[in-house]
Amino acid sequence: MHDVIVIGAGPAGNMAALRLAEAGLDVAVLDWRADIGDKLCTGIIGRECAAKFPPDPAYVYRAANAAAIVSPSGRRYRVAKSEPQAYIVDRVAYVNSFAVKAREAGAHYLLEHRVTSLDIRKDGAGIVATFNGREKTLKAKMLVIAGGFGSPLLRMAGLSSGKPEDYMIGCQAVVDAPELHETEVFVGEKIVPNSFGWIVPLKEGKALVGMAPRKQVGGHMDILLETLKSKGVVKSVIGQTQTWGIPIRPLPKTYGTRALVVGDSAGLVKPTTGGGIYYALLSGELAAQTIAEAFEADNFSSRQLARYEKAWKGVFGRELRVGYYARLLFETLNDKQLESLLEEFLSEGVLNEVMNAPDFSFDWHSNVILKVLRHTNMRKVIRSFGPAVAPFAARLLRTRA
Ligand SMILES: Cc1cc2nc3c(=O)[nH]c(=O)nc-3n(C[C@H](O)[C@H](O)[C@H](O)COP(=O)(O)OP(=O)(O)OC[C@H]3O[C@@H](n4cnc5c(N)ncnc54)[C@H](O)[C@@H]3O)c2cc1C
């Protein structure tokens, strides 16, 4: 019998395992992958994530001070700051580094083990995993569900109807782009309706081209790749385009008797950008803290474990709420409206007051969103968009700054 079984060795599961093992608990981590952290991702982390959970410098491909936003008509707006705002990291190495530390702290890792069922009772919890075609049963006092997007285990734990609350489809390909040095973000109906696409430089002339449409990729990825090829930015595409879901709304309940849900499984992702590494790490840490308290109190009831949800809501609940309504607002805009929004948003006046303000943060951007919406010039532009935008703008403007 283990103290805690963690299902999934992504950033959320590894961080939970690390902190639990550091607290002296007996932890087993299961993942069906052979290579920890090897799931579809661009690997961008914000400055604060990098400060709180520092990547080994060897895993950092680039520090990013600037990025360009390309409007539907092809107009290019470059936004630059004097200090790096984000880091492009080797995601696999970064995520694995937390597993290495968790192992050093005493956590047991069982790779190539796929958890197929859960059994949660008042007096204990169990899982069944398959390894090499054989079934294994493991028991623990607590479970951490860290299986990432759309995990069927949530339904077994009684915490989801089986469908993610709301999501985007992340889609990405590795390309050769030797002349690219800065990230570019693309918006517009032709590129990706209701969302955005990107090209992000890695190292040695490689880059990632991707997009995060709502629910269907269609032929949009081919259009983006062809556009970038025709401009000479992309020389060739390496390998296949891959897709994976990105949740953009939290589960209604992220705890239950003897179980907590962390990271993507809980829907803890920035709804604006689809970035989830930081919240996965934070939620893993908060879950470990709640579990350590549950062991101290010898109480694994849903009531005791509710403090985990209170904790993550206190740290980034507002970010998720504001980000979600900002995304819904953005999704109502047509290309013409996007052009005028970008023109105003990236005008010197707004940039100076918002982006160049000392409290600007890539990781905590709800304040930036609210400041932009409250800016006199932006309010005028948004009002001119008419009734489709109004409910989301009103909802955001009601949020306290
Ligand atoms: C195209 C794309 C680009 C992205 N880019 C970024 C980015 O640049 N920056 C950013 O912050 N976020 C990005 N994200 C989101 C980010 O990858 C996730 O938010 C983050 O990985 C979530 O971590 P997690 O630990 O919750 O889940 P995951 O990283 O998905 O890890 C879950 C783990 O659980 C394992 N697992 C699942 N089910 C089982 C099972 N039944 N048994 C055993 N093991 C199981 C999986 O193998 C996996 O290793 C991107 C996502 C996509 C799709």
Residue at a domain's end among 264, 287, 316: 316
Q: What is the pLDDT of residues 175-200, one digit of tens each?
A: 999 999 999 999 998 888 889 999 99
Q: With a cut of 90, say whether residue 394 has pLDDT above it.
A: no
Q: Which atom of ligand 1 is nearest to the CA of 283?
A: 26
Q: Are residues 79 and 125 in the same domain?
A: no
* Higher per-residue pLDDT: 146 or 190: 146
Confidence band of 401 (pLDDT split at 50, 70, 90): low
Question: Which of 38-42, 218-222, 294-298 bottoms out in mean pLDDT, i.e. has the lowest?
Answer: 218-222
What is the spatial distance between Cα 113 and Cα 129, in angstroms, rounded to a whole number? 6
Backbone angles phi, psi at 395, to 5 degrees: -60, -45
| Type of residue numbered 374 | R
Residues 101-123: tens digit of each pLDDT: 999 999 999 999 999 999 999 89
User: Residue 151 pLDDT more than 70?
Assistant: yes
N residues, the chain? 401
- What burial letters (b/e) apply to 11-23, b meaning 16+ CB within 10 Å? bbbbbbbbbbbbb
Task: With CA atoms as reference, report the closest residue to 269 among 211, 321, 320, 327.
Answer: 320
The pick from 217, 220, 246 for probing ligand 1's pocket by mutation, whose C-beta has the most ligand atoms within 8 angstroms, reads 246
What integer pLDDT is reported at residue 190 of this predicted model? Answer: 86
- Structurally, how many domains does the chain consist of? 3
Confidence category of residue 342, pLDDT binned at 50, 70, 90: confident
Q: What is the CATH number of the domain that holds 114?
A: 3.50.50.60
Does residue 387 or residue 99 have the better pLDDT?
99
pLDDT of residue 296: 97
263 lines ligand 1 (CB under 6 A): yes
Report whether 64 contacts 205 (CB < 8 A).
no
Ligand 1 centroid distance, CA of 280 (Å): 9
Is the pLDDT reported for residue 168 higher than 70?
yes
Which tens digits make up the pLDDT trace of 214-244? 877 778 999 999 999 999 999 999 989 999 9
For residue 271 and ligand 1, the question of a CB distance below 6 A is answered with: no
284 lines ligand 1 (CB under 6 A): no
- C-alpha 229: how far from chain center: 28
Pocket test residue of 38, 42, 281 for ligand 1, highest count of atoms within 8 A of CB: 42
Residues in CB range of 342: below 8 A, 6 or more apart: 69, 71, 75, 77, 187
Which of 31, 38, 41 should be mutated for ligand 1, with most atoms under 8 A from CB?
Answer: 41
Q: With a 6 A CB cut-off, is 269 part of the ligand 1 pocket? A: yes
CA–CA gap between residue 240 and residue 242 (Å, rounded): 6
- Of the residues 203, 223, 247, the one at which a domain ends: 247
Asked if residue 310 and residue 186 are part of one domain, the reply reads no
Centre of ligand 1 from the C-alpha of residue 195, in Å:
20
Asked whether 44 lines ligand 1 (CB < 6 A), one says yes
- Co-location of 282 and 292 in the same domain: yes
Q: How far is the CA of 386 from the centre of ligand 1 (A)?
A: 37
64 and 100 assigned to the same domain: no
Give nearest CA residue, ligand 1 atom 29.
10
Tell me how far the alpha carbon of residue 127 lies from the centroid of ligand 1, in angstroms. Answer: 21
pLDDT of 347 above 80: no
Q: Check pLDDT > 80 for residue 202.
A: yes
Encoded tokens for 365: 């951007």
- Which range of 2-6, 70-74, 218-222 scores highest in mean pLDDT? It is 2-6
Q: Whose CA is nearest to atom 33 of ligand 1?
A: 8
- Final residue of a structural domain among 292, 316, 340: 316
Do 68 and 193 belong together in one domain? yes
The residues, ordered by sequence, that sit 6+ positions from 184 with a Cβ below 8 Å of its Cβ are 67, 68, 69, 70, 76, 198, 199
Examine the domain organization and report whether 349 and 389 are in the same domain: yes
Nearest residue by C-alpha to atom 15 in ligand 1: 276
Same domain, 294 and 370: no
The verdict on 173 and 243 lying in the same domain is yes
- 34-43, 162-171, 182-191: the lowest-pLDDT one: 162-171
Same domain, 296 and 391: no
CATH of the domain at 214: 3.30.9.10
Q: Domain span at residue 384?
A: 332-397
* Confidence grade of residue 371 (pLDDT, cut at 50, 70, 90): confident
Q: Does the residue 322 lie in any domain?
A: no
Q: pLDDT at residue 42 above 70?
A: yes
pLDDT over 90 at 47, yes or no: yes
The answer to whether residues 193 and 49 belong to one domain is yes
Give the Å distance between the CA of 349 and the centre of ligand 1. Answer: 38
Element (H, E) at 341: helix 335-345
Residue 73 contacts by C-beta under 8 Å, 6 or more apart in sequence? Answer: 188, 335, 339
23 and 97 share a domain?
yes
| Ligand 1 site, residue 114, Cβ cutoff 6 A | yes
H-only helix segments in 64-219: 91-104, 153-156
Q: Has residue 367 got a pLDDT over 70?
A: yes
